């Protein structure tokens, strides 16, 4: 039952979508694939559309059964910068693209991923880093979707 973890990071210029595909169980995960999606567009709606289309073309033939989109953690301080707003729009487009191909799609923040793994957020990210150091947030999201071995 392959599980896909997806995480959006906002670089100063453009967003990067990290994806990790895992199989196996939480106790014995198998890294199947890891990749990043990038866009050359400068407008947020064009970025969201481009990234969603790229994701759709990658997960269509991958036989993914579960997808977890790692969303931003709650910030105690409100921000008016464009980064968080852009990230939300892109995450929504990616969630919609996942729903076109995958029946079990969920969104989780770092704490929810930790709870699903029965560890802290930091331990969940460390487990993700052990699987794919360049894509730890996406890897921990995918790991949280895998079944437990017991």
Q: Are 3 and 146 in contact (CB under 8 A)?
A: yes
Tokens, residue 150: 């017991």
Instruction: Give, for all 150 residues of the chain, the pLDDT tens digit.
Output: 799 999 999 988 899 999 999 999 999 999 999 999 999 999 999 999 999 999 999 987 668 899 999 998 776 676 666 777 889 999 999 999 999 999 899 999 999 999 999 999 999 999 999 999 999 999 999 999 999 975
Q: Which residues contact residue 142 at a Cβ distance below 8 angstroms, ignoring those fewer than 6 apart?
A: 3, 4, 5, 20, 21, 22, 29, 68
Residue 76, pLDDT score: 66
Assigned CATH class of 3-145:
alpha beta
CA-CA distance, 76 to 20, in Å (whole number)?
Answer: 29
């Amino acid at each position: 039952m392959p599980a896909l973890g997806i995480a959006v990071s906002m670089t100063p210029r453009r967003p990067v979508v990290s994806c990790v595909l895992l199989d196996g169980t939480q106790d014995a995960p198998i890294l199947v694939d890891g990749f990043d999606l990038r866009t050359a567009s400068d407008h947020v709606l064009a970025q969201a559309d481009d990234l969603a289309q790229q994701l759709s073309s990658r997960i269509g033939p991958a036989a993914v059964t579960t997808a977890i989109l790692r969303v931003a953690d709650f910030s105690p301080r409100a921000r008016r910068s464009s980064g968080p707003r852009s990230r939300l729009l892109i995450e929504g487009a990616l969630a919609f693209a996942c729903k076109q191909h995958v029946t079990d799609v969920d969104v989780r923040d770092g704490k929810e991923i930790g709870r699903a793994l029965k560890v802290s957020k930091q331990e969940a990210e460390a487990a993700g880093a052990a699987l794919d150091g360049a894509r730890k947030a996406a890897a921990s999201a995918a790991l949280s979707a895998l079944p437990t071995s017991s």
